[in-house]
Amino acid sequence: MTFEELGLKSEVLKSLKELGFEAPTPIQEKAIPYLLGKDSDFVGLAQTGTGKTAAFGLPLVNNIENHAKTPQGLVICPTRELCLQIAKDLESYSTNLKVNIVAVYGGTDIRKQMTDIKRGASVIVATPGRLMDLINRRAISLADVEYVILDEADEMLNMGFKEDIDAILDTTPEKKNVWLFSATMPAEVARIAKTYMNDPMEVAIGHKNQSNENIDHIYYVVKEKDRYAAVKRLIDFNPEIYGLIFCRTRQETGSVAEKLAKEGYNAEPLHGDLSQVQRDRVMDRFRKKDLQILVATDVAARGLDIDNITHVINYNLPDDIENYTHRSGRTARAGKKGESLVLINTRENGKIRAIEKQMRTTFTLGTVPNAEEICEIQLLKLINKVIDADIREKEIQKFMPTIMAKFEDLSKEEVIKHFVSTEFNRFIEYYERAGDLNATASKSEDNGSEDRGRRRDRGDETETGKTRFFVSIGRRDGLNPGGLLRLICDATGLTSGNVGRIDIMTSYSFFEADNEFADNILKKVNGAEYEGNQVSIEVTKSKPGGGSQRSGGGGRRDGGSFGGKFQGNRDGGARRSEGGSRDGGFRKEGGQSSFGGNRRDSGSSSGSGNRRDGGGSSYADRSRRDGDQRSEGGSRSEGAPRREGGFNREGGSNSGGGSRPRSFGKPFNKKS
């Protein structure tokens, strides 16, 4: 369907062309033709990111009389940020019309807003508190309002605006159209619909209360004391993260943000204790991607509609399941994919099950990455950064003879080792002694519901009579337990009962099946396609040499057996850098190599690590297999020793001496 077919007038269509909107989103397709008509009460159940603003905004500006001086349209929304965003969007839809849009919200001078209204406003976009204030001061008349839009109605009610909304709606004319948008439909929202609407058309995008399908929900079970350390690892494992961390209280928000910032992460808090000016500044930095991680309370992050957020991290679960819907809905907007990561303690499994049930979605159990996995990701990031570095031929030329003379006695491989080690050694040291942060969910909470995609105790052997397979694709390729099951069953003709546990990891996966089907599976599933990716599988050997490795680390554990197929590239190589620079566009690295300054480290040995992984799948091997010469130096990660910590900080310049390693890359601008 096209926008032309929806019945919008040519001026609006022209603006849409200018905006580059090519086709309506599903909610727009359903809502717009109806809302363009007369007498149109409407309930839209849709999350942010579905295009709901245009779903009401386009018919609104389309229907408003040109040059109207008194408000004909009234949009009410929960927060100042959303208010400004909606006003901006409406303006962009009406560039070819004479519609005057005025935004009114708290926290700024009311007199200026009163003047703006007096000058003539055909559409008011308002937060409830400020609008009530204006009504009480008789600074605004809603007598001519024909369209009232309640956006994020559930949020407004959550925030305690029930009385204000009732009072505002009572001030508007009896005969009007009410369009209500809400992500969820609690009883209070249903009451508003019942009280103020006549036989509204109801459109739900997805099920009611259902989560956006582009969001991967992943939970990690950790001990209470390890929450913070686990968050750092998740950030470190996702160097290109553009993320939002949710905490329950202002204190916790402040403390997590402060600790992260102290440790050099590009993170800041957003909570109600900040002044409006401070909040604006933080939001602005985050919006511009100068800030990589925003740590926020639920209330402060309401209305935070920013595209391209890659991860939402739930430092802990919200008390209210609906808040989880809102939190996770901050990622995967406008058709993009995103991950909502949840940290739970060993007794909170039941909460995950409750959210799954209410949202009709499935969570995957994730494993908090270990030191080696993080080292690998960051090392590959560094290597890619080196490869991608802009070479200023002219400027560097005059130093080249001296540089070449210095390196004269070193082979290419040695030079690479030295360069990489200037960053990597400190990093390895930092992660030395880092243990496994994954805990086991308590049995009583599990209700025996462990099934596909969920946990088994880490370190378990493959179940007797079963063969365990390694699969070359993972979550990052859009794979989920159901998808893998379908893939196996479609390729082999087996039924789901023949397939045992499934572990979907970030870039690879495992599954088990009865031994008798192993040959068939190997033959048929190998080479099958999943969403454009060719899948290869291998039988993994059972756990070598005891130890307490996790099932999630199975790739490493079984490394020797499938060696080069271990997707090193996916995890940290080309794929990663693509993610950053193309999708998100926030790799503002400023052209500096992150291992610029620290020359004094350069003589240190790169061979210091103790290689523990049985010599298999080095990233160098993997890269080579993938036809990627990046690691041809073979500077094998000598098996990063473990240690706790994080390093994804602004790191362009090396501080040297300090115990914390700087980031291998500099994905974001320096903190201001």
Query: Which residue, 25 or 316, is less far from ligand AMP as judged by CB?
Result: 25
- We find the least distance from the C-beta atom of residue 305 to ligand AMP, in angstroms, to be 5
Applying the rule CB under 6 A, the residues between 297 and 316 that interact with ligand AMP are 305, 307
- We find the least distance from the C-beta atom of residue 155 to ligand AMP, in angstroms, to be 13
Give the C-alpha separation, 423 to 416, whole Å: 12
- We find the least distance from the C-beta atom of residue 8 to ligand AMP, in angstroms, to be 12
Query: Which residue, 277 or 334, is less far from ligand AMP as judged by CB?
Result: 334
The vertex-450 CA angle with 444 and 452, nearest 5°, equals: 170
Give the C-alpha separation, 142 to 72, whole Å: 8
- We find the least distance from the C-beta atom of residue 303 to ligand AMP, in angstroms, to be 10
Query: Which residue, 101 or 374, is less far from ligand AMP as judged by CB?
Result: 101
Q: How far is CA 170 from CA 132, 148, 196, 368, 477, in A?
A: 11, 11, 9, 52, 51
DSSP helix/strand/coil, 244: strand
Q: Single out the segment in contact with ligand AMP by CB under 6 A; choices: 48-56, 379-387, 399-407, 659-667.
A: 48-56
| Residue in 30, 52, 385, 476 binding ligand AMP, rule: CB under 6 A | 52
- We find the least distance from the C-beta atom of residue 82 to ligand AMP, in angstroms, to be 9
- We find the least distance from the C-beta atom of residue 86 to ligand AMP, in angstroms, to be 8
Phi then psi for 238, rounded to 5 degrees? -120, 75
* Total chain residues near ligand AMP (CB under 6 A): 15
Q: Up-side HSE of residue 92: CA atoms within 13 Å toward CB?
A: 14
Q: Single out the segment in contact with ligand AMP by CB under 6 A; choices: 45-53, 212-220, 238-246, 649-657.
A: 45-53
Binding pattern for the stretch 25-44 against ligand AMP, x by CB under 6 A and - elsewhere: x--x----------------
If binding is defined by CB under 6 A, does position 50 make contact with ligand AMP? yes
Give the C-alpha separation, 177 to 286, whole Å: 36
- We find the least distance from the C-beta atom of residue 150 to ligand AMP, in angstroms, to be 15
**H-only helix segments in 554-618:** 554-557, 559-562, 568-572, 574-578
Q: Single out the segment in contact with ligand AMP by CB under 6 A; choices: 52-60, 145-153, 405-413, 419-427.
A: 52-60
**H-only helix segments in 592-649:** 619-625
Beta bridge partners of 609: none
Residues with Cβ within 8 Å of residue 194, at least 6 apart in sequence: none
Give the C-alpha separation, 458 to 503, whole Å: 12
| Residue in 330, 333, 576, 587 binding ligand AMP, rule: CB under 6 A | 333
Query: Which residue, 209 or 551, is less far from ligand AMP as judged by CB?
Result: 209
Applying the rule CB under 6 A, the residues between 202 and 231 that interact with ligand AMP are none
* DSSP H helix total and E strand total for the chain: 26, 20
Query: Which residue, 54 or 267, is less far from ligand AMP as judged by CB?
Result: 54
Q: How far is CA 171 from CA 214, 543, 585, in A?
A: 40, 70, 46
- We find the least distance from the C-beta atom of residue 206 to ligand AMP, in angstroms, to be 13
Q: Single out the segment in contact with ligand AMP by CB under 6 A; choices: 50-58, 130-138, 206-214, 586-594.
A: 50-58
Phi then psi for 563, rounded to 5 degrees? 25, -110
Q: Single out the segment in contact with ligand AMP by CB under 6 A; choices: 47-55, 139-147, 218-226, 662-670.
A: 47-55
DSSP helix/strand/coil, 12: helix
- We find the least distance from the C-beta atom of residue 23 to ligand AMP, in angstroms, to be 6
Exposure string of 419-447, with b = 16+ CB inside 10 Å and e = fewer, is bbbbbbbbbbbbbeebebbbbebeeebee
- We find the least distance from the C-beta atom of residue 260 to ligand AMP, in angstroms, to be 28
- We find the least distance from the C-beta atom of residue 28 to ligand AMP, in angstroms, to be 6
Q: Up-side HSE of residue 467: CA atoms within 13 Å toward CB?
A: 17
- We find the least distance from the C-beta atom of residue 246 to ligand AMP, in angstroms, to be 19
Residue 256's CB is within 10 A of a number of other CB atoms, namely: 22
- We find the least distance from the C-beta atom of residue 92 to ligand AMP, in angstroms, to be 8
Applying the rule CB under 6 A, the residues between 260 and 299 that interact with ligand AMP are none
Estimate to the nearest angstrom the gap between the alpha carbon of 611 and the chain centroid. 34
Query: Among candidates 557, 568, 580, which has minimal Cα distance to 631?
Result: 568
Cβ-based burial of 393 (10 A; exposed 0-12, middle 13-18, buried ≥19): exposed
Q: Single out the segment in contact with ligand AMP by CB under 6 A; choices: 51-59, 272-280, 535-543, 578-586.
A: 51-59
Query: Which residue, 117 or 185, is less far from ligand AMP as judged by CB?
Result: 185
- We find the least distance from the C-beta atom of residue 61 to ligand AMP, in angstroms, to be 14
Query: Among candidates 511, 626, 636, which has minimal Cα distance to 568?
Result: 626
Q: Single out the segment in contact with ligand AMP by CB under 6 A; choices: 20-28, 229-237, 338-346, 653-661.
A: 20-28
Query: Which residue, 52 or 630, is less far from ligand AMP as judged by CB?
Result: 52
Query: Which residue, 49 or 239, is less far from ligand AMP as judged by CB?
Result: 49
Applying the rule CB under 6 A, the residues between 53 and 72 that interact with ligand AMP are 53-54
Q: How far is CA 573 from CA 270, 558, 569, 615, 629, in A?
A: 33, 21, 4, 20, 11
Query: Among candidates 138, 113, 377, which has minimal Cα distance to 241?
Result: 377
Q: Single out the segment in contact with ligand AMP by CB under 6 A; choices: 23-31, 289-297, 540-548, 649-657.
A: 23-31
Give the C-alpha separation, 303 to 400, whole Å: 53
Cβ 164 vs Cβ 133: under 8 Å: no
| Residue in 12, 21, 426, 663 binding ligand AMP, rule: CB under 6 A | 21
Binding pattern for the stretch 645-664 against ligand AMP, x by CB under 6 A and - elsewhere: --------------------
Query: Which residue, 188 or 307, is less far from ligand AMP as judged by CB?
Result: 307
DSSP, res 154 = H
Q: Which residues are near ligand AMP by CB under 6 A?
A: 21, 24-25, 28, 48-54, 305, 307, 333-334
